[in-house]
Amino acid sequence: MEEIRRPDDMARITTPELAEAFIAEQIKLIKEQVGDKKVLLALSGGVDSSVVAALLIKAIGDQLTCVHVNHGLLRKGEPEQVIEVFRNQMKANLIYVDATDRFLDKLAGVTDPEEKRKIIGGEFIEVFAEEARKLDGVEFLAQGTIWPDILESEAGIKAHHNAGGLPEDLKFELVEPVRILFKDEVRVVGVQLGLPEGMVYRQPFPGPGLGVRCPGAITRDRLEAVRESDAILREEFAKNGLSGKVWQYFTVVPDFRSTGITDGKRTFAWPCIIRAINTTDVMEVTVEHLEPQLIDHLVKRITTEVPGINRVLFDYTPKPPATVEYE
Ligand code: XMP
């Protein structure tokens, strides 16, 4: 198949009208490519795969099967949102796999960050491949490849992409309907397709998920502390108008304890670190300085609502010298 490239003179998709024209064209192209065959998609709930899912549902309906793998490292409410939006609202063929135990069992006791990443990535492909083998007659694999992925892999900066890792017995032709779009265009198209703004304009989230925010060996209780504190941070950022303004914000719960006191009793519990940063290219980042009242409020909520936390810290370090994530 001839490689599809972004035309040099293509207008940036910034309006509903341009998005509508793109959607209409892609629906036609998808129908031509796929015919009456079946398509499979790994739907993470991230912007790119969600927009691809919405486009394909519009183009080919139940010829598409989406697989959502919950690796147990997703943010609070994310798997539920994927099910609500795609299965309940868009009537997609959605296979939901709760593989939490599988992932966490494999990760138990693993402290090395790269080893953790390798396990999460490898296990993800295995779970997805198992689901794919259960289905009959699938000939196509849809992917949320976008134009910067192509440019970066051509420049040798990063290898793209998801399909690369699938086992030999699973051979699919790729369907990549947003491959000529930049991220901002994917978002405009997503809104036009009726996806919730919270899904389309969400902050970047790493593939290994909360796993890299639970430094060292992941335990279920510390992972829950990351998930709960992250949910409180997101809720407070939304209430304070910071969600769309700050580029990325999250919490980290490191694996050490310190002494504290609650209701007159000694505690020995983890700290929760808040990270909030701004950037354009992620090579360099600056820190978003929060209002003292907001910090006070976050400290109060996190220490009272999240089991296992008795202290809240704020990370004032830009990149460099720190990276965004802790692992
Ligand atoms: P760092 O920590 O390298 O993060 O300064 C830069 C950006 O990349 C994200 N990140 C990842 N994304 N898989 C991903 O998909 C990963 O393993 C990974 N590690 C970091 C990070 O969230 C930030 O936006």
Q: Is 325 in the pocket of ligand 1 (CB under 6 A)?
A: yes
Q: Is 117 in the pocket of ligand 1 (CB under 6 A)?
A: yes
Q: Is 209 in the pocket of ligand 1 (CB under 6 A)?
A: no
Q: What pTM value is reported for the model? A: 0.95
- Residue closest via CA to ligand 1's atom 22 equals 206
Phi/psi at 20 (nearest 5 deg)? -60, -40
Q: Cα of 157 to ligand 1 centre, how many Å?
A: 14
Write out the chain's pLDDT in tens, 327 residues.
578 999 999 999 999 999 999 999 999 999 999 999 999 999 999 999 999 999 999 999 999 999 999 999 999 999 999 999 999 999 999 999 999 999 999 999 999 999 999 999 999 999 999 999 999 999 999 999 999 999 988 888 766 655 568 998 999 999 999 999 999 999 999 999 999 999 999 999 999 999 999 999 999 999 999 999 999 999 999 999 999 999 999 999 999 999 999 999 999 999 999 999 999 989 999 999 999 999 999 999 999 999 999 999 999 999 999 999 999
Which long-range contacts does 113-121 make (Cβ < 8 Å, 24+ apart)?
113/212, 113/215, 113/327, 116/208, 116/211, 116/212, 116/218, 116/327, 117/207, 117/208, 117/211, 117/212, 120/71, 120/73, 120/207, 120/208, 120/209, 120/211, 121/165, 121/207, 121/208
Question: Ligand 1 atom closest to Cα of 319?
Answer: 5
Q: Cα of 91 to ligand 1 centre, how many Å?
A: 32
Q: Cα of 158 to ligand 1 centre, how many Å?
A: 12
Q: Is 322 in the pocket of ligand 1 (CB under 6 A)?
A: no
